[in-house]
């Protein structure tokens, strides 16, 4: 698949990494942000569809959100493809929630269909693009610490206030785990687009009406 200067290569299960490297060497592709390789044996049909959806969404001309296109585990690092085809090499040791976990746990992850986060179900860990970026860029971490906590806490408190005001329990919000919703309401992580859509549905409201309620609760 080619879009402008970006190439997506699906390899066969038996394809050796050296074969991929040899193929790349015969092309003019030299920049990491111009090529993404995905093994078809790692992907079932729904996952292929989701990957293509995230990739196509990232190619749209409007302002690109901070979504994750794809992730793979390479040795002791995660290779994370994100906005504008940027690739991050994130050492596992830089992620406190994953540090020390065995390979079988690290390999068992799911990418949210809209790319909002990566989820490790064995250890109940959610990580988004900004968290990966902050793990490799100290300046991003510093800026996030200065701006993120206060807003996340106020927004999470508003989500909790609205939910409790309508007497909706955390377990009744389908599409979000109770632990994820608890972290959102405590301000420990941001509310993704997918989470807000699930909350709106649980409240029986269109998303824009639900967001209006949150906005009023924060005033």
Q: Is the pLDDT of residue 10 over 60?
A: no
Is the C-alpha dihedral spanning 48, 175, 77, 146 positive or negative? positive
Of the three residues 136, 160, 177, the one that is the final residue of a domain is: 136
> Do 14 and 60 fall into the same domain?
yes
> Do 127 and 154 fall into the same domain?
no
- Whole-number average pLDDT of the chain: 79
Predicted pLDDT of residue 69 = 86
| Span 107-131, average pLDDT | 91
| Span 77-95, average pLDDT | 88
> Do 61 and 89 fall into the same domain?
yes
CB 78 within 8 A of CB 132: yes
> What is the per-residue DSSP string for 57-107?
HHTSSSPPPS---EEEEETTEEEEE-GGG-EEEEEGGG-TTTTT--HHHHH
> Do 29 and 53 fall into the same domain?
yes
> Do 39 and 122 fall into the same domain?
yes
Confidence of residue 1 (pLDDT cuts 50, 70, 90): very low
* Residues 150-160: tens digit of each pLDDT: 888 888 999 99
CA-to-CA separations, 54 to 41, 44, 160, 175, 187, in angstroms, rounded: 19, 15, 30, 19, 26
Of the three residues 89, 105, 136, the one that is the final residue of a domain is: 136
Q: Kindly state whether residue 199 falls inside one of the protein's structural domains.
A: yes
> Do 92 and 174 fall into the same domain?
no
Least confidently predicted of 14-28, 132-146, 170-184, 200-214: 14-28
Q: Kindly state whether residue 141 falls inside one of the protein's structural domains.
A: no
How many folded domains does the chain comprise? 2
> Do 121 and 24 fall into the same domain?
yes
Q: Kindly state whether residue 184 falls inside one of the protein's structural domains.
A: yes
What pTM does this model have? Answer: 0.54
Three-class DSSP category at 5: coil
Q: Is the pLDDT of residue 8 over 80?
A: no
The domain that holds 87 is classified in CATH as 3.30.2020.40
| Span 119-130, average pLDDT | 93
Of the three residues 136, 158, 193, the one that is the final residue of a domain is: 136
Q: Quick one: tokens of 195?
A: 């989470």
Structural domain of 160: 147-218
Confidence of residue 164 (pLDDT cuts 50, 70, 90): very high
- The 8-class DSSP code of residue 52 comes to H
Predicted pLDDT of residue 3 = 43
Q: Is the pLDDT of residue 59 over 50?
A: yes
> Do 47 and 126 fall into the same domain?
yes
Q: Kindly state whether residue 188 falls inside one of the protein's structural domains.
A: yes
| Span 11-16, average pLDDT | 53
> Do 116 and 28 fall into the same domain?
yes
- Provide the percentage of residues in the chain whose pLDDT is more than 90: 32
Q: Is the pLDDT of residue 77 over 70?
A: yes
Q: Kindly state whether residue 108 falls inside one of the protein's structural domains.
A: yes
């Amino acid at each position: 698949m080619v879009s402008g200067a970006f190439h997506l290569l699906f390899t066969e299960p038996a394809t050796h990494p050296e074969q991929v490297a040899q193929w790349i060497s015969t092309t003019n592709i030299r920049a990491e942000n111009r090529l993404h390789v995905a093994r078809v044996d790692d992907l079932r049909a729904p996952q292929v569809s989701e990957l293509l959806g995230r990739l196509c969404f990232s190619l749209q001309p409007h302002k690109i959100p901070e979504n994750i296109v794809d992730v793979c585990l390479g040795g002791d690092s995660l290779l994370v493809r994100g906005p504008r085809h940027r690739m991050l090499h994130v050492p596992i040791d830089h992620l406190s929630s994953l540090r020390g976990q065995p390979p079988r746990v690290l390999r068992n992850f799911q990418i949210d269909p809209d790319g909002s986060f990566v989820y490790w179900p064995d250890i109940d860990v959610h990580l988004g693009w900004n968290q990966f970026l902050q793990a490799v860029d100290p300046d991003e971490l510093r800026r996030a610490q200065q701006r993120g906590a206060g807003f996340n806490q106020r927004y999470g408190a508003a989500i909790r206030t609205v939910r409790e005001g309508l007497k909706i329990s955390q377990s009744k919000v389908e599409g979000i785990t109770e632990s994820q919703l608890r972290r959102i309401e405590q301000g420990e992580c941001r509310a993704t687009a997918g989470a807000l859509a699930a909350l709106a549905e649980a409240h029986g409201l269109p998303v824009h009406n639900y967001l209006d309620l949150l906005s009023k609760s924060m005033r």
